Structure 1
Amino acid sequence: MKKSDEQLGMNKSIARRDFIQATALTSLGLMLSTSCVFTNKEKESLVKDYPPLKTGMRGSHDGSYETAHALARQGVQFKNPVDTDEYYDLIIVGAGISGLTAAYEYRKKFGDESKILILDNHDDFGGHAKRNEFDQSSCMRLSWGGTMNLEYTSFSQPVLDFIAELGIDVNALHKKIKFDYGNDKPAIWFDKDTFGENILIPGFSMYSRNEDVIDQIDKFPLSEQGIEALKAFYTKDDNVLEGLSEKEIENVLYKTSYTDFLEQHCQLPKEVVELFIKATDGYWGVQPHSLSVAEAVSAWLPGDHRIGESGKEVRGNNESEEVAMFPDGNASIARLLVCSLIPDVCPETTAKTIAMAEFDYSKLDLPNNATKIRLSSTVVNAKNEANEVAVTYVKNGKTIRIRSKHSVLACYHAIIPHICPELPDHQKKAQQYQVKHPMLVTNVLVKNSTALDALGISGAYCPGRMHAKVFMTKGVNTVGYQPDYNKDEAVPLMFWGMMEPPARDIPIHAQLRGARMTLFQKKFEDFEREVRTVLDGLLGPAGFDVAEDILAITVNRWSHGYSYSYLDLWDKKYKLSEAPHEIARQPIGNISIANCDAAASAYSQAAIEEAFRAVRELK
Structure 2
Amino acid sequence: MSFSDRDRRLGMDRPISRRDFLNGVAMATAGVAATALMPKGVFAQGAAPAGGDPSKLTGLRGHSETAMNVMHAVRDGTFWDSAPTVTETGERYDLVVVGGGISGLAAARLFQRQKPDATILILENNDDFGGHARRNEFVASNGQTLIGYGGSQSLQTPTYFSPLVKDLLADIGVEYEKFETYYDRDWHEERGLGDAILFRKEDWDMAEDVLVVTADSAAEWVPATPLNDEAKANLIELLDSPPDYLAGKSREEKFEQLAQTTYADFLTEICGYDPQLVKYFQRSTEAYFGMGIDGTTALDAWGNWNPGFDGMDLGDRPYKTMSPSGRLALTDPDPYIYHFPDGNAGVARSLVRTLIPEALPGTTMEDLVTTSVDYAQLDVEGNPVRLRLNASVVRVKHDGEPEAATGVTVTYLEGDTLQTVAAEQVVLACWHRIIPYLTDELGAEQVEALNDQHKIPLIYTNVQLRNWEALDKAKIAGFSDPTGFWKGAEIDFPVSMGSYRFAQEPADPIILHLSKIPLTGDPSMSAREQAAAGRHALTQISFEDMEREIRDMLQRALGAHGFDAARDIEGITCNRWSHGYALEYMRPWDQFWPDGPLPIETARQPWGRVAIANSDSGAYAYVHSAIDQAARAVHDLLGDSATLTDYSRFPGPPVEMLDLVE
Check whether TM > 0.5: yes
More displaced, 410-419 or 66-75? 66-75
Gaps of 5+ in 1: 25-44, 205-209
More displaced, 213-222 or 599-608? 213-222
Letter in 2 for 1:167: G
- Say if 2:75 is the partner of 1:72: yes
- Say if 2:612 is the partner of 1:587: no
Q: Deviations over 1:433-465 (max 9, x none)?
A: 011111221110011000000000001011011
Q: For the structure 1 residues 247 and 47, does the alpha-carbon distance in structure 2 shift closer, same or farther, using more than 3 Å as the test?
A: closer
Contact 1:85 1:402 in 2 (8 A): yes
Q: For the structure 1 residues 18 and 63, does the alpha-carbon distance in structure 2 shift closer, same or farther, using more than 3 Å as the test?
A: farther
- Say if 2:62 is the partner of 1:59: yes
SS at match of 1:286: coil
Q: How many residues end up aligned between the 2 structures?
A: 591
Letter in 2 for 1:51: P
For 1:576 and 1:250, locate their aligned partners in 2 and report how far apart those are by CA, in whole Å. Answer: 16
* Residue 450 (structure 1) aligned to one of 457, 469, 474: 469
For 1:228 and 1:518, locate their aligned partners in 2 and report how far apart those are by CA, in whole Å. Answer: 37
For 1:400 and 1:67, locate their aligned partners in 2 and report how far apart those are by CA, in whole Å. Answer: 14
> Once the 2 structures are TM-superposed, how far is the Cα of residue 480 of structure 1 from its aligned partner?
4.0
Q: Deviations over 1:1-42 (max 9, x none)?
A: x9622221111222541369x999xxxxxxxxxxxxxxxxxx
Letter in 2 for 1:511: Q
* Residue 180 (structure 2) aligned to one of 154, 160, 174: 174
- Say if 2:221 is the partner of 1:216: yes
Contact 2:211 2:557 in 1 (8 A): yes
- Say if 2:381 is the partner of 1:367: yes
For 2:242 and 2:313, locate their aligned partners in 1 and report how far apart those are by CA, in whole Å. Answer: 8
More displaced, 473-482 or 416-425? 473-482
Residue equivalent to 2:195: 186
For 1:153 and 1:479, locate their aligned partners in 2 and report how far apart those are by CA, in whole Å. Answer: 25
Residue equivalent to 2:284: 279
Q: For the structure 1 residues 127 and 180, does the alpha-carbon distance in structure 2 shift closer, same or farther, using more than 3 Å as the test?
A: farther
For 1:193 and 1:18, locate their aligned partners in 2 and report how far apart those are by CA, in whole Å. Answer: 33
Give TM-score scaled by structure 1 length. Answer: 0.90
- Say if 2:563 is the partner of 1:552: no
Q: For the structure 1 residues 215 and 487, does the alpha-carbon distance in structure 2 shift closer, same or farther, using more than 3 Å as the test?
A: closer
Q: For the structure 1 residues 246 and 148, does the alpha-carbon distance in structure 2 shift closer, same or farther, using more than 3 Å as the test?
A: closer
For 1:164 and 1:70, locate their aligned partners in 2 and report how far apart those are by CA, in whole Å. Answer: 41
For 1:480 and 1:584, locate their aligned partners in 2 and report how far apart those are by CA, in whole Å. Answer: 45
Letter in 2 for 1:160: K
Residue equivalent to 2:212: 201
For 2:242 and 2:292, locate their aligned partners in 1 and report how far apart those are by CA, in whole Å. Answer: 25
For 1:179 and 1:147, locate their aligned partners in 2 and report how far apart those are by CA, in whole Å. Answer: 21
Contact 2:100 2:122 in 1 (8 A): yes
Contact 1:241 1:308 in 2 (8 A): no
- Say if 2:128 is the partner of 1:119: no
Letter in 1 for 2:487: A
> Once the 2 structures are TM-superposed, how far is the Cα of residue 50 of structure 1 from its aligned partner?
0.9
Gaps of 5+ in 2: 29-47, 320-327, 400-404, 639-662
Residue equivalent to 2:233: 228
Contact 1:87 1:404 in 2 (8 A): yes
* Residue 510 (structure 1) aligned to one of 513, 516, 529: 529
* Residue 97 (structure 1) aligned to one of 90, 93, 102: 102
> Once the 2 structures are TM-superposed, how far is the Cα of residue 251 of structure 1 from its aligned partner?
2.6
- Say if 2:620 is the partner of 1:601: yes
> Once the 2 structures are TM-superposed, how far is the Cα of residue 378 of structure 1 from its aligned partner?
0.6
More displaced, 255-264 or 317-326? 317-326
Paired residues for 1:318-333 under 5 Å: 318-323=331-336, 324-333=338-347
SS at match of 1:63: helix
For 1:612 and 1:355, locate their aligned partners in 2 and report how far apart those are by CA, in whole Å. Answer: 26
Q: Deviations over 1:20-75 (max 9, x none)?
A: 9x999xxxxxxxxxxxxxxxxxxxx9996211111111111322311011111344
Q: Deviations over 1:516-566 (max 9, x none)?
A: 211122111111011000111111111111112111100011111110111
Letter in 2 for 1:318: T
Letter in 1 for 2:168: F
Paired residues for 1:91-490 under 5 Å: 91-111=96-116, 113-137=117-141, 138-151=143-156, 152-178=158-184, 185-195=194-204, 196=206, 197-204=208-215, 210-211=216-217, 213-245=218-250, 248-310=253-315, 312=317, 317-323=330-336, 324-385=338-399, 386-490=405-509
Contact 2:494 2:502 in 1 (8 A): no
Letter in 2 for 1:5: D
> Once the 2 structures are TM-superposed, how far is the Cα of residue 245 of structure 1 from its aligned partner?
4.9
For 2:49 and 2:430, locate their aligned partners in 1 and report how far apart those are by CA, in whole Å. Answer: 30
For 2:443 and 2:187, locate their aligned partners in 1 and report how far apart those are by CA, in whole Å. Answer: 44
Q: For the structure 1 residues 317 and 73, does the alpha-carbon distance in structure 2 shift closer, same or farther, using more than 3 Å as the test?
A: farther
SS at match of 2:566: coil
Q: Deviations over 1:461-488 (max 9, x none)?
A: 1101122131001511125422453232
For 2:121 and 2:114, locate their aligned partners in 1 and report how far apart those are by CA, in whole Å. Answer: 16
> Once the 2 structures are TM-superposed, how far is the Cα of residue 156 of structure 1 from its aligned partner?
1.2
> Once the 2 structures are TM-superposed, how far is the Cα of residue 174 of structure 1 from its aligned partner?
2.9
Residue equivalent to 1:614: 633
> Once the 2 structures are TM-superposed, how far is the Cα of residue 79 of structure 1 from its aligned partner?
6.7
> Once the 2 structures are TM-superposed, how far is the Cα of residue 193 of structure 1 from its aligned partner?
3.6
Q: For the structure 1 residues 60 and 589, does the alpha-carbon distance in structure 2 shift closer, same or farther, using more than 3 Å as the test?
A: same
Paired residues for 1:555-574 under 5 Å: 555-573=574-592
Q: Deviations over 1:140-187 (max 9, x none)?
A: 101101111112121111111211222222122134312699896111
SS at match of 1:132: strand
For 2:527 and 2:360, locate their aligned partners in 1 and report how far apart those are by CA, in whole Å. Answer: 43
Contact 2:55 2:137 in 1 (8 A): yes
For 2:104 and 2:440, locate their aligned partners in 1 and report how far apart those are by CA, in whole Å. Answer: 21
For 2:69 and 2:179, locate their aligned partners in 1 and report how far apart those are by CA, in whole Å. Answer: 38
Give TM-score scaled by structure 2 length. Answer: 0.85
For 2:164 and 2:186, locate their aligned partners in 1 and report how far apart those are by CA, in whole Å. Answer: 28
